[in-house]
Amino acid sequence: MKNSIIDKIHHLVSQVPKGKITTYGALARKLRNKFYARAIGQALGRNENNYYSNKQKIKKIPCHRVVKQDGRIGGYNVGFAKKKRLLQAEGITIKKDMIQNFSSFLHLF
């Protein structure tokens, strides 16, 4: 399957409940190794843009729940502001583009 990365990411990110977050790095370590984070970010972005999603079945992944390891929220194709809003709407507190109380929101696999 061409979307195997996306499939795996989707499987994991679907487990993250509303109001919780995970990180690119955490997914990376879960799926492969710590250096996989970068590829994951790229895959997610491209999935949103559906460059290589099959047009028939575009998987909707709650990408906004995937953030950076350092507490910043990372990127979002539709826009940084939107990702921020989505997270805040789920009860996550963000100040100065930094997630406050980061570890308490982190979902553990």
Partner DNA sequence: ATTATGACCGAAG
Partner DNA sequence: GCTTCGGCCATAA
Residues in contact with DNA by CB under 7 A are: 5, 23-25, 28, 32-48, 51-52, 63, 66, 68-71, 74-77, 98
Query: Nearest distance from residue 91's CB to DNA, in Å?
Result: 19
What is d(CA 86, CA 50) in angstroms, rounded to the nearest whole number? 21
Cβ proximity to DNA, 12 vs 41, nearer residue: 41
Give 24 or 105: the residue with its C-beta nearer to DNA.
24
What contacts 34, CB < 8 A, 6 or more positions away? 25, 28
Active-site residue, 63 included: yes
**Do residues 78 and 84 make contact, with C-beta atoms less than 8 angstroms apart?**
no
Which residues form the catalytic set?
63
